[in-house]
Amino acid sequence: MQDKVANGEGIESWQEVTLVYNAALRQVQTKMEILNDEFQHVHQYNPIEHIKARIKNPESIVKKLKRHGYDSTIENMVKYINDIAGIRIICSFTSDIYRIAEMISEQRDIKVIGVKDYITYPKASGYKSYHMIVTVPVYLSDRIVDTKVEIQIRTVAMDFWASLEHKIHYKFEGDAPEHIKSELIECSRMVADLDARMLSLNEEILAISQARGGDLS
């Protein structure tokens, strides 16, 4: 019988980190693709536009550990860094974000250990996204490793904004000119307005479609 260990205990090398966290990423991504397919089958609608998956590179992990005052060890990576494995789920409408988050939380072998709702409570920069930290069991030959994955769920518009903000942050090493910061905040308001209007338009289209018996032709 395999022993079960929590939060990546027993991982001793970077090679093993990539093995275990890549396995966790594949599991979560596959689950999301299956849920999306099921949603299409039941509701004739795909809430997920696309999925991005990545393993954080060692340099970024080391910088994050140093920023929080931890030594650069494998043990500290696994214990303190929650986003070594990251999944970004891009959807069309804000309503999809919470629908997807609920579907994730209802998966029996996914344990939600943390949530940050930056849509209801955006960052000062204007950043919006819904973050979940979850653990999934990775089955190895001699043990089961509960492995952390960060899931970010956002609309296409939010993702476009976040991509630009990320580039600006690194271009100016976190110290962008004030007028650029102000412009980004204004753009985030425009993104929020666009998302709200697109959701409203979609709901109106669905209502008309239902009234016509599902035929808009």
Whole-angstrom distance, CA of residue 167 vs CA of residue 32: 28
User: Which residues lie below 8 Å from residue 2, measured CB to CB, with a gap of 6+?
Assistant: 139, 140, 142, 143, 144
Task: Reply yes or no on whether the pLDDT at 5 is more than 70.
Answer: no
As for how many domains the chain has, the answer is 1
* Average pLDDT for 180-198: 94
33 domain residue, yes or no: yes
pLDDT at 43: 79
200 domain residue, yes or no: no
Q: What is the CATH number of the domain that holds 108?
A: 3.30.460.10
146 domain residue, yes or no: yes
pLDDT at 217: 45
Residue 160's H or E segment, with its range, is: helix 156-171
| Encoded tokens for 69 | 């005052």
Count helices and strands in the chain by DSSP H and E runs: 6, 6
13 domain residue, yes or no: yes
| Encoded tokens for 50 | 């696309």
Whole-angstrom distance, CA of residue 15 vs CA of residue 55: 12
80 domain residue, yes or no: yes
121 domain residue, yes or no: yes
Enclosing domain of residue 64: 3-156
201 domain residue, yes or no: no
199 domain residue, yes or no: no
The amino acid present at 69, given as its one-letter code, is: G
User: pLDDT for 47-64, tens place per residue?
Assistant: 999 999 999 999 999 999
